[in-house]
Each structure stands twice: as C-alpha cells, then as structure tokens.
Amino acid sequence: MSSGTEVQTSGTVRAADSSKLRLGALTALVVGSMIGGGIFSLPQNMAASSGAGSIVIAWAITFVGMLTLAFVFQNLANRKPEIEGGVYGYARAGFGDYIGFNSAWGYWISAWIGNVSYMVVFFSALGAFGALSFFGEGNTLPAIIAASLLLWGLHTLILRGVQSATVINTITTVAKLVPLALFVVIVIFAFNIKTFNTDFWGSPALGSVINQVKGSMLVTVWVFIGIEGASVFSSRAESMKEVGKATVIGFLLTITLLVAVSLLSMGVLTQEELAHLKNPSTAGVLKAAIGPWGATLINVGLVISVGGALLAWTLLAAEIPYLAGKDGIFPKVFGKLNANGSPAAALWLTNGLVQLFLVITLFSSAGYLALLSLATSMILIPYLLCGLYALVVAMRGEGYPAGDAARNKDILIGLIASVYGVWLIYAAGPTYLFLSMVLYAPGVLFYLKAKSEHGEKPFKGFEAVIAAVVVVLGVYAAYLLANGAIRI
C-alpha cells in the first residue's frame, strides 16, 4: 500500500511527464472498458429477438449513432482541450456545476455497481471449470471471498500508481482480443450462407422488422458503454489529440468485433438455435463449429476479458470522484492524490461500496440485480449531455477559426449524437429514468457538502428548482418501489 502522503493538484496542472498516458494506453482503456462479458453472450442476446436482416439494420443505426458520439468526444478534445474529465467535465462546462455534479454522480454510481456485476460474472465463468465448480453462479460464499481478495488486490495495485495499472490494463486488453480474434477466424471458416439466410427477416413469432430492430438495439445500447474511457483520463493524457484518436480507434476496433461475433454466428447456427443457447452463447457457437474444446476456449477468453474490464472500470470509477473533488463539486477529500499519483480517497470509497454490495449479493442477488438494472441507465444521461454540449460548442463557433468549414459538419455530428442520446434513454425505458432519481437524490447532500467547504452558494438560477425536482421524484419513486406499486 502506498504512503499516506497526499498532494493536491490544481485544475490546470497535468500529471507528471512520467505518468502521462499515450495513445496505446488510452485506446486500451476505451477497448478494455467496452469489451467485457457482454460480447460473449451477444449471439444469443440478439438472436432472441431478431433475424439476421433486422440485426444488420440495428448495427447500421448503432454504427452511425455511436460513431457520432465517438466524434463528439474527439471534437471536444480538440476544441476544448482545457476541459478535463470527459463526460463530467463537458456536462459541467455546458450546463453548470449542479448538472456537472449529477453527470459525475450518475457515472460514478453506474461504474462501481457495474464492477460488482463484473466480479460476479468473473467467478461465474471460473465456476464453469469442473475443479472450480464451488464458485457456482459467482455469488456463493467461496466466490464472494475470492472476489473480495481480487477487489483489494486491484485496489492495492492502483494505489501504487495509475500508470502501472494502465500498463497491466493494456496487457489484459491485448490478451482478451486473442480468443475473440480466434473465434472470428474459426467462425468465418464454419460460416454457411444457407444457414445465414434461413428466416433472414425473422420468423413470424418475432414480429415486424421494426420491432425486431428495436429489440436488437436494446442490446446494442449497453455494449458500447465505456466509449468515453479515454476522455475521462484526459487530465493524465500526453495530449488531447491522442484522447480523440484513442476514442475513435477504440470504437472502430470494438464495433468490428461486435458485428463480426453477432453476424458470423448466424451462419453457424440458425436464429432459433442461437436464441435457445445458454450464455456465454459464443461457447455454444464454437462447440457447434469445432467441438467441445471451443467452449473451453471461450470460457478462458471470458475470464480474461471480464478481468481486464474490471481493472479498466475500477480505474474509471475512481477517477470521476477525484476530478469532481478537485473541481469543488465533490467533497474536497476526494480531489487529492497520494504520493504515487493515485486518487486514494476516491478509490477507498468506491471499492468500499463494491465490497458492501458483494456481501449483499450473497444474501439477496435479486435486489442487487434490480439495482444494477437501475444504475446502468444512469450512464446514458451523461452521454446525452455530451452530445448537447458538442452541439452548443459548434453552433457558437467556440474553438473554431473564422470560416472553418468543419464547423457545419460538427453541428451535424452534435445534432445526431444528441438525437441518439435521447434514443438511448428511450430504448432503456422511461421508467428507469424515473426510478434512477432514487439514486440521484442522495447526491444532493454530497453536492451541498462540497459547496459549503468552499464557502460557495450551492445553486445558481434554476439549479435549485432542478435539485428540488430530483429530490421529490427520488422520494416518490422510492415510495412506489417500497409499496410494490412499481417494479424494476
């Protein structure tokens, strides 16, 4: 564990040269945070609601929407290089301290609760191996004990320095791509065009093409969470241009793998066969293509992938409260680094909560899963705010030389990204947006504490009204949940 010495960093000073993150490390953060366990279940998840034709359409729409979001992060990195913190920093710059706080709060809660999920999935994957069957579904007592040891091992690693942790993240990201690349190569050789064309537009039981596309896109909503990974670490990057490049490169690499895994699988097994596979369904696809050892390969790949994603998201989860604390909208204790340049206080709080919820999963897995579904939707609001801010920046011409032709293109990108952000929230379900107020409401206390520490007035303009609405909706949603009037 690192020394207790702490150093306060200002909002403008970047990390020391030796700790700056370059293009490779930033790209690995993007890919490592997006590619976790979801890709290994993608064939079944998408085939459960759609035929091949509808899945192609869904991926085309997703490509356009998520590419514009990637360009949003790239444009803002280039036009607003002074803004640090990615989703949090852009929301604060565009819409004020309180909205920026909520962006940070929602992102942070989504990140650390997601880490609990990664822990459960990780040991569930290990439980698939006979000698480790005592891990069960990842929520047995041995699994929780092992998960706790892993959690605090990662904690100690990051306390020794973010730079060393990102090096390991880069290694695990490369390692997780190997089994996925093998899967794609094997499935290409096993691909049968007749199988792919069987019920190309889906069986009648799946409904209309429009409904199938919507069903597929409900899956694609979640597989790209993490696209903002490089921008969150912009304060530690060697240059803002590399932040933008890493975001786009990471997105293109990830979507190539996702599309290949989901569509090529439909040339090995029919839609109906894929829909009835157990997850991770990629194991069933490889088993059909090359035999039982294919399933073993996928389980090994899943363990590596989820382990790598867990490290990436532990880094992301601790970075956001650190940045917000440094800027005075989280309590100031979180805005400090230890002697190794690691956000120690933010890391202790984050991993302490992860540990608490690991224990909760041991006694109430249903309650944890409900909270996970609720928290995941919270990350979509920061995405929408980033799209809107990029649109505002381009329309105002901020950071653009006079007569810059790229401005009109960036206005269009910001507009499409904003519309797509609204779609993501709609696809996740308006009910989740309402219920997420249960988790947003307590954040007001953190915000008031932070502002009082700096002797500042907490709310400006309509911020007080927004805060009041969030608290009232949060209390009402909690009441409805407690009385069973609404369920997650």
Q: What is the CATH number of the domain that holds 206?
A: 1.20.1740.10
Phi, psi of 193, deg, nearest 5: -65, -30
Q: Among 369, 54, 351, which residue's Cα sits nearest to residue 201?
A: 54
For residue 425 the two structure tokens come to 């929230």
Does the residue 345 lie in any domain? yes
Residue 375 reports pLDDT greater than 90: no
Percent of the chain with pLDDT over 90: 36
* Residue 481 resides in a domain: no
Mean pLDDT of the chain: 86
186 has pLDDT over 60: yes
Residue 365 confidence class, pLDDT cut points 50, 70, 90? low
pLDDT band at 258 (very low <50, low <70, confident <90, very high): very high
Q: Which range is most confident: 116-125, 216-225, 391-400?
A: 391-400
Query: Residue 190 belongs to what domain range?
Result: 14-429
Q: For residue 477, is it within any domain?
A: no
Assigned domain for 6 exists:
no
Does residue 122 lie in a domain region?
Answer: yes
Per-residue pLDDT band at 416 (split at 50, 70, 90): very high
* pLDDT score recorded for residue 18: 53
List pLDDT tens digits, range 119-159.
888 888 888 787 888 888 888 899 999 999 999 999 998 89
Q: Is 60 exceeded by the pLDDT of residue 4?
A: no
Overall domain count for the chain = 1
8 strand-pairing partners: 336
Q: What percentage of the chain carries pLDDT values higher than 70?
A: 94
The b/e string for 356-378 (b: 16+ C-beta within 10 A; e otherwise) is ebbebbbeeeeebeebbebbbbb
pLDDT of residue 163 exceeding 80, the answer is: no
The answer to whether residue 441 sits within a structural domain is no
* Residue with the larger pLDDT of the pair 269 and 127: 269
This prediction has a pTM of 0.84
